[in-house]
A and B are shown apart, each in its own frame.
Chain A
Amino acid sequence: MKIAVCFKPIADYARLSQKDWKWDEGHRVDTSFIRRIFNCFEESALEMALTLSGTSEHASDLIELTALTVDNQQGDLFLKQLLAVGYNYGVRIQCKKNPDLRFTPLVMSHLISAYIKKQGHDLVILGMQGGEGDNGQTGFLLAERLGWPCIGEVSRIIRDESHDCLKVTSRIDGGTLVQTVHLPMVLIMGHSLDSPYLRVPNLKQKLRAKKKQVIVISDIELGTYIDPQTNHALTNAPTPENDKTLMDLRKPQASQSCVFIEGENAMEQAQQLYDQYLKERLPL
């Protein structure tokens, strides 16, 4: 089974203070001094795929894992980390002209589908949403482009007893659904039921990973050129519909009124909060 897990390192926005939220003419906030991290859904997906690959019992049902990202050279650090924890391949799609890909799930789906079609993977796992765009569409668009079925808000993936299928748990309105599915498939990861944290490579694994190479492929090699002026994907196929373009950024207006609860100490404040606001709202 060949699995590709797609991820996109994001700036750790929690480390941006109020005063740092300023944007330039291109509506970009400078995050160059903030560390980048995996978003929580993708971290779950990356760990889940590793757990899945650990369940292979025979050579015939081995799982080959590829970590895939669309990024500049900064993405190599993350790919090296993934190679260290057990990914067979770390692949970075580099767009020639560094276009703004924050709000372009259509473009991302083009790039990923072009790679997947070339490499013949059986399963693609992506995070539900993340980054500045938080688009939440890439997985669905990818599935459409590949012509594969797709399940969203996945919380667990395990191997079926037959090892040909997967048991996929996902959230639906009012509960969870467990489905046994054949491949190929696109799975979109939500909140994991198991560990949301990616395992950490040991010292030996880190040393071995130093010798492994990240595979870099350009958008042109994939037959898809991303026009930096328009952020459109220009392919040999018929021109797709326009993706999104960011027009404006505004800080939300603080619209909620509030009351400051005064008091000498926390106990007094808590008592006031209870007496004045909570008592009548709490069930008898």
Chain B
Amino acid sequence: MTLTRTEIVDHLKNILGQERVITDEEVLKENSHDRYKKFETIFNVYSTPIPAAVVKLGNTSQVSEVLKFLNENKINSVARTGGTATEGGLETIVENSVVLDGSPMNQIIKIDPVNMLATAQCGVNLGELEDQLRKQGFTTGHSPQSLPLAHMGGLVATRSIGQFSTLYGAIEDMVIGLEAVFPDGEITRIKNVPRRACGPDIRHVIIGNEGALCYITEVTVKIYRYYPENNRYLAWKLDHMETGFEILRKVMVDGYRPSMARLYDVEDGIQHSFDQFAGKKCVLMFLAEGNELIARATAEGIAKIVEPYEECQPLDSKIIENWFSHLNWGPEQIAEERDLIAKNLHIGFTTEISGNWDCINTIYENALNRIQEDFPHIDDLTMLGGHSSHSYQTGTNLYFVYDYDVKDCKPEEEITKYHNPLYAMIVEETLKAGGSMVHHHGIGKYRTQWTKEEHGSAYYILKGLKDQFDPNGIMNAGTVYPLE
């Protein structure tokens, strides 16, 4: 028999105590969504069903007890810590969902400079962890734009990536061990070893699961020595994105690992005021980091690669260094964004994908052309462009960035009129060209219609995990896996 909303709340209070079960209307509204629906929430519209409760989880046992209860009663759960997700993964789309807030689990458990490990609970803010590490001369190397706000649990659950990934890797390269709780209440712990061949790497069942398979309670990541005094920024302006992709590829294939390697097209560059320094040109930039010898060799090697390209003209690296140091978003920027949206009815989003070197420029051009030709509200767009920010031996990612005036529609219609169709065009062109529909933001709830196409025959493996670990479908329904 399905429990009522009141019964769900009562049961949760019995398990956790009254003080850990929040039913305040404003808190419930705030926890029903993430940044995907930021427009409607600015106008106090909450079209997603409001959850039955937000529970503040204090330790792993509580997570286990609550999940057991939810699983037995087939109640949908949504795991949440920092709340900075962008793809609808935190939306409580099922009636009477329960939001599992791990932010009270905010202890940095251990910093181990001998084994170069840092262990933190899921509710630890990455910015705070970084501050602690840097005091001791270390860094996680993980620096997403949400660093001031994001928490470790969410960062691992979404398979996140940071601005310095080209050197340090993405989260999956950083995670050594994990603790996670599965829907039946089973607490699992993966130990911290440098590498092993003891069956498939089961960390990857958990990393990137977006709360659709389990609840991450603790994370151990590698740490690195931090040498900011050796940082060298390099930047050029150039005419063509295709040239930029070619240079990025050469840098990676020749073995250089700058911590940051980015390529901005003209339109996206204007958003960052690059036109004040580079005119109407693309901008290519790198950051060489590490000990003195490595940083110097990396910078010199990259400069040598760029040198033969006559269309590349150097830019003052101080411009890029200054710009880059102000890239991250804290609460002030979020608040300012909301104010701007509310007053000007003007909003911006990104859709980011990845592709191998031989198709990335095709994806870039095709997606932009498709939007120009087929998007019915093109007159409302104020900006359409893109940039690459994470490169690999075999390819790179691409952010498509688009801003628009929201006209003649209710707040809750904004995503169906603008965001969803723009998103769809980009995803379709990417899949057509052989790329991946999402590089690091996670599938969330709005790309699930393409999950099977994305994985092809390998969807069999992904589906198998859901069948095994969440047969009752209580883990963040509608995320990663399409609702059948």
Give A contacts to B, CB under 8 Å.
15, 17, 32-37, 74, 77, 194-197, 199-204
* Contact size range, B: 20 to 34
Which positions in B face A, CB cutoff 8 Å? 272-273, 275-277, 316, 318-319, 321-323, 325-326, 340, 343-344, 346, 378-384, 403, 405
CB atoms of B323 and A202 under 8 A apart: no
21 contacts between A and B (CB under 8 A): A15-B322, A15-B326, A17-B325, A33-B316, A33-B318, A33-B319, A33-B321, A34-B322, A36-B273, A36-B276, A197-B344, A200-B383, A200-B403, A200-B405, A201-B382, A202-B380, A202-B381, A202-B382, A203-B381, A203-B382, A203-B384
Chain A residues with Cβ below 8 Å from B277 are: 33
In the complex, chain B residues whose CB is within 8 Å of the CB of A17: 325
A201 CA to B405 CA, complexed, in Å:
9
Closest 10 CB pairs between A and B? A35-B273, A195-B343, A33-B318, A200-B382, A33-B319, A202-B382, A197-B344, A203-B381, A33-B322, A15-B326
Q: Are B326 and A202 in contact (CB under 8 A)?
A: no
A204 and B380 alpha carbons, distance in the complex (Å): 9
Query: B384: which A residues are within 8 A, CB to CB?
Result: 203
Please give the distance in Å from A36's CB to the nearest CB on chain B.
Answer: 6
Question: How many angstroms from the CA of A17 to the CA of B326 in the assembled complex?
Answer: 10
Q: Which residue of chain A lies nearest to B326 when distances are taken between CB atoms in the complex?
A: A15
Residue of B nearest to A81 (CB): B270
Alpha-carbon distance A33/B273, docked complex (angstroms):
11
Measured in the bound complex, the distance between the Cα atoms of B93 and A239 in whole Å is: 74
In the bound complex, residues from chain B placing their C-beta under 8 Å from that of A199 are 344, 346
Known contacts A202-B380, A203-B381, A204-B379; A196 and B323 CB within 8 A of each other: no
Residues of A with C-beta under 8 A to B272:
35
Q: Other than the known A196-B343, A199-B344, A202-B381, what 11 A-B pairs have Cβ atoms closer than 8 Å?
A: A34-B322, A36-B273, A37-B273, A195-B343, A199-B346, A200-B344, A200-B383, A200-B405, A203-B379, A203-B382, A203-B383
Please state if A203 and B343 are interface contacts (CB–CB under 8 Å): no
Residues of B within 8 A of A196 (CB): 343
**Contact, CB under 8 Å: A77 / B319:** no
**Contact for B340 among A33, A197, A203, CB less than 8 A:** A197
Q: B318 — which chain A residues lie within 8 A by C-beta?
A: 33
Q: Which residues of chain B have C-beta atoms less than 8 A from A202's C-beta? A: 379-382, 405
Task: Enumerate chain A residues within 8 angstroms of B382, measured Cβ to Cβ.
Answer: 200-203
Bound: A195/B319 CA distance, A: 30
What is the distance, in angstroms, from B368's C-beta to the closest C-beta of chain A? 11
Check B344 against A77 for contact (C-beta < 8 Å).
Answer: no
Q: How far is the CB of A267 from chain B (nearest CB, A)?
A: 12
Flag if A200 contacts B346 (CB, 8 Å).
Answer: yes
> Given the complex of chains A and B, what is the CA–CA distance between A39 and B378 in angstroms?
30
A17: nearest chain-B partner, CB-CB: B325
- Which residues of A lie under 8 Å from residue B344 when comparing CB positions? 195, 197, 199-200
Q: Which residues of B contact A33 (CB under 8 A)?
A: 277, 316, 318-319, 321-322
Q: How distant is the Cα of A74 from the Cα of B343 in the complex, in angstroms?
A: 29
CB distance from B202 to the nearest CB of A (A): 34
B93 to chain A, nearest CB (A): 32
Q: Which residues of A contact B379 (CB under 8 A)?
A: 202-204
Q: In the bound complex, how far is the Cα of B346 from the Cα of A35, in angstroms?
A: 22
